[in-house]
Structure 1
Amino acid sequence: MSSNSRRPEHTAPPEVVSNIVKMNSRMIEIQSQMSERAVELLNLPEDQPCFLLDVGCGSGLSGDYLSEEGHFWLGVDISTAMLDVALDREVEGDLILGDMGHGMPFRPGTFDGCISISALQWLCNADKKSYSPPKRLYTFFSTLYSSLARGARAIFQIYPENSEQLELITAQAMKAGFTGGMVVDYPNSTKAKKLFLCLFAGVSGVLPKVLIPSQICPFPSRCRYKNMKGKSAKKGKDWILEKKERRRRQGREVRADTKYTGRKRKPRF
C-alpha cells in the first residue's frame, strides 16, 4: 500500500471523513500538544485575553486549550457531525459551519490570532470538479488576512503530502499578503516531527525557534502540568471555579457555587 492511500484526505471529502473518525485518548493527547505549541507560536500578550479563530475546529479539542488559557474563540468547521460533538461537549467557544475554501466571512480586524490543527492540507485536494486548489487557498488566505488585526499571527499545523503541496500553500499565503515561513519541530525525528506554517498579518516578524529532540519529555502530560506556571490542575476544584467564572463573564447561565463544588462523589454500590 502506498503512503498516499493512507492519507485521510484521499479517502473522501473532509465532511465525510470527520464523520467516521474516532478520537482515542492518544489522538486527543497529540491534538492538545499541537494546540499548545500553536498558541505558543502565536506569541500572544500574557496580561490580557484575546479573541482567536480556530479553523477546522472539529469537536473543539483545540478550543478547550484556548479556553484553559483564558482566551475567547470562534471555531469554523465543514462537518456538522463534528460541530454537534463540540456542542454536546459544551465547549466555551462559538461555532460556525463553513468551508474554509469559500473564505472567512468576518469583518476586518476581528481576530487577534488564528490557529488551525491538521486542516489546511485539505484545501489542496479537488474533491469536486469545480474546485481549484490554488483558488480555494487564495480565497481562504486573503479573507483570513482581512479578518486578522494588523500584526496578528496565524499558525497552521499541517501534514503536507509533498514539497510541491507545501510550496502551493506558502505561495498562496504570500500572494494574499502574509509574510512568515515554516517552523519545523524535531526535524530529525520521524515520529515527533511537526510542521507549523507561521504567518504574519501586516507586520513582518522573526520566526520562533524550533524544538530540538533533547527537549522531548518522555511523559508529555506530566511535563505539561509541571510547566503550567501555577495554573489549576484540570478537573480540580480551582479549575472548575475558574471555568465557571469564565462562563459568567461570557454571560452564560452557571450553577451557583456551593461547598460541594468540585467534590468527588462517593461510588454507588
Structure 2
Amino acid sequence: MSNQRPEHTGPPELYYNETESSKYASNSHIVKIQTDMAERAIELLALPEDKVGYLLDLGCGSGISGDVITAHGHVWVGLDVSLPMLQINKEDDEDPTKDLILRDMGSGMPFRAGTFDGAISISAIQWLCHANSSDQNPRKRLHRFFQSLYACMGRGTRAVFQFYPENEQQSDLIMSQAMRAGFNGGLVVDFPTSTKAKKVYLVLMTGGVQQLPKALTEESEAAERGQVQNIGRRVFQTGKKGKERIVKGSKAWIDAKRERAQKQGRDVREESKYSGRKRKTKW
C-alpha cells in the first residue's frame, strides 16, 4: 500500500509538521532503530580513529543521528527541510558541536569545496525520488544534489546513505545519478535474507576505486555489532580504564563536549547552572 510510505503523501516539509515531528522524536522504537542505523553508517565511513571529523548529516531531522555523531567525538552540520524537526533538534542547545541549516537537499549543497570529512544520511534520500510539483524532476534533483555533495567532500572521503528503496528501479536511479556526479561505490545490504533486519546502505566514495565494506549477516551479527557498540562506549570513558561511563546528557557529559569544542577552537556557550538539568516534558 502506498500510504505506508510517508514520501507518497507529499513533500517532507509538509509531512513533518509540528505534530508528526514531535511524535517521531519521542517514539522510543524509532529512536532505537535510527540510532542503530546511524552507528552503522558511521562505521561504514571508516574515519581515522585519531582524528576529529567534520561531518555532514543530511536529513538530520530531530537530531537522533547527530547525537550519535557527537557521541563519536565528531563535529557536524545538520541539514533538513523540515523547520519543526530542526526546532526540536535545536532544543539541545547545550551541544556546541553542531550547526543546523534549513534547506531542501534537492536544491544542492551550499558549502565550499572540500569542506567535509564525511557525510551520513538516515532515511532521507528516497524523498528526492518523488516530484511534489510540476517543476520538480527527480532525476535532475538527484543529480544536482550529488554533484554539489561531491564538490563539498574532501578527496578520499565517503558518504553513506541508509535508505528504503521502493523497488530496484529506484535504487538504480539513485545510484546512477551518484555515479554520474563523480562518486564510485555501491550498495551494502545488511541481513539480506531477513524481512525485519534487512537494511540498505549506499556507500559512496571520492577518489580512486575502493573495495566496498562487507555487509552484516546473521553469522557476523554478534562480532560486528560488538565492535560498533565498543566504539560507542569508548567515547564515554573518562580516560582511564575501569572508570565509570559518563551518562549522556549529564553535566559531566556536557562539560566534556564543551571542553572538546574549545580545544577545536570553536565558540561555545558559557557554563550555566542549568547545564545538564532535565527539561520539562512537552505535551
1:202 aligns with 2:239: no
CA distance, structure 1, for counterparts of residue 277 and residue 91 of structure 2: 23
Q: Please, which moves more after superposition, 245-254 or 84-93?
A: 245-254
1:119-160 Cα distance to aligned partner (Å, 9 max, x none): 000000001111000000000000000000011100000101
Matched, 1:254 2:270: yes
Equivalent residue, structure 2, for 1:64: 67
1:262 deviation in Å?
Answer: 7.5
Deviation at residue 263 of structure 1 after TM alignment: 10
Residues 76/256 of structure 1: CA separation in 2 closer, same or farther (3 Å cut) = closer
Distance 1:26 1:45 in 2: 31
2:281 alignment partner in structure 1? none
Task: Report the counterpart of residue 50 of structure 1 in structure 2.
Answer: 53
Count of residues in Structure 1 that have an aligned counterpart in Structure 2: 257
CA shift at 1:47, angstroms? Answer: 0.4
Aligned counterpart, 1:267:
none
What's the counterpart of residue 243 of structure 1?
Answer: 257
For the pair 1:97 / 2:95, whether they are aligned, the reply is no
Consecutive unaligned residues in structure 2, runs of 5 or more: 238-244, 279-283
Q: Distance in 1 between matches of 2:254 and 2:75?
A: 17
The structure, 1 or 2, with the larger RCO (C-alpha pairs under 8 Å, 6+ apart) is 2
- The answer to whether the 8 Å contact 2:258/2:268 transfers is no
1-structure distance, mates of 2:137, 2:252: 49
Identity of aligned residues (%): 50
Corresponding position of 1:75 = 78
Structure 1 residues 84 and 207, CA gap change in structure 2 (3 angstroms): same
| Cα RMSD, aligned residues only | 2.5
Alignment check: 8 A CA contact 2:72 2:235 kept? no
Give how far 1:103 is off.
Answer: 0.4
TM-score norm. by structure 2 comes to 0.84
Q: Structure 2: how far apart are the matches of 1:181 and 1:263?
A: 44
Question: Is 1:88 matched up with 2:91?
Answer: yes
**Paired amino acid for 1:245:** E
Determine the structure 1 residue equivalent to 2:7. Answer: 9
Deviations 1:175-204 (A, max 9, x none): 111100000011111101000000011222
Unaligned runs of 5+ in 1: 265-269
TM alignment of 1:1-269, pairs within 5 A: 2=1, 4-19=2-17, 20-21=20-21, 22-23=23-24, 24-90=27-93, 91=95, 92-216=97-221, 224=229, 228-229=233-234, 231-232=236-237, 233=245, 234-235=247-248, 239-249=253-263, 250-255=266-271
Change (3 A) 1:36 1:108: same
Aligned partners of 1:147 and 1:211: how far apart in 2?
Answer: 30
With over 3 angstroms needed to count, the CA separation of the structure-2 counterparts of 1:142 and 1:227, relative to structure 1, is closer
